[in-house]
Amino acid sequence: MNSNKTVLITGATSGIGFELARLFAKERYNMILVSRDIEKLEETAIILTNEGASDIIIIAKDLAVWHAAAEIYEITRKRGIKIDVLVNDAGMGEFGYFSDTDLEKELDIIQLNISSVVHLTKLYLRDMIKGRGGKILQLASVAAYQPTPRLAVYAATKAFVLSFSDALGAELRETNVTVTTLIPGATDTDFFHKAGMEHTKAAHHTEDPALVAQIGYKALMKGEAHAFAPGVRQEVFKSSLLPNRHVAIMAEKQMEEEDDSNED
């Protein structure tokens, strides 16, 4: 790879991850793109090359598999690639009452949303500290502040990401490594389709992923601890004033089916 800085992005082929990748491409970063789908990775690499990215390496790995994070790290280590920026964007959810949902899928969610984030962060953070600098962007959610019925496991994983990232940021305050947590609300991505919740109220009131990515990117470059998508800061403040049980009841209302009777 050339001498430009290098960013590694998981979940790089769609949604917020893709929009973040476009922002890095415009700044001529070298890019390591990670996703499960090799065809989408190839398509994304072409788009990003046309938008200004320098060298691009694609890695097709499923981070819901426990050894994938270590394999990704080994690929970059063996090539002698220094990662300047790590973006842990990949994530998924499962919609439904916990007593009814699929256990195996939820264990995969925990692996993807928590374990792979911890694993990649641990491996690349050590290199960043040795190299005396780096930036890490973690994807949380407004659900990190809101126990969310019918999305219980997903919300809990995002609460972990937020707490983990805040603690890590405090540990690193005397270093040149920063940790930024992007906290979106409902965003217009394929998350709702994959989670099986396209017909919920939350899915009908979404933010533009390009705008969310821009907010996260700016905060990351400044080394800020948190980046809130539009409206999220107010939701977080409101949640902080109420007992968790009441917050959960409010969150559950967003999981209800949207009434489309007035639509054409």
Helix/strand number for the chain, H first, E second: 10, 7
Torsion region of 5: left, alpha or beta (phi above 0 gives left; psi -120 to 50 gives alpha): beta
* Pairwise CA distance, residues 150 & 99, whole Å: 10
* Paired strand residues for 85: 7, 135
* Tokens encoding 199: 């017909």
* Tokens encoding 181: 């947590």
The residues that are catalytic are 154
Burial class (CB in 10 A: 0-12, 13-18, 19+), 260: exposed
Dihedral sign from CA coordinates of 70, 75, 77, 81: negative
| 141, 165 Cβ separation under 8 angstroms | no
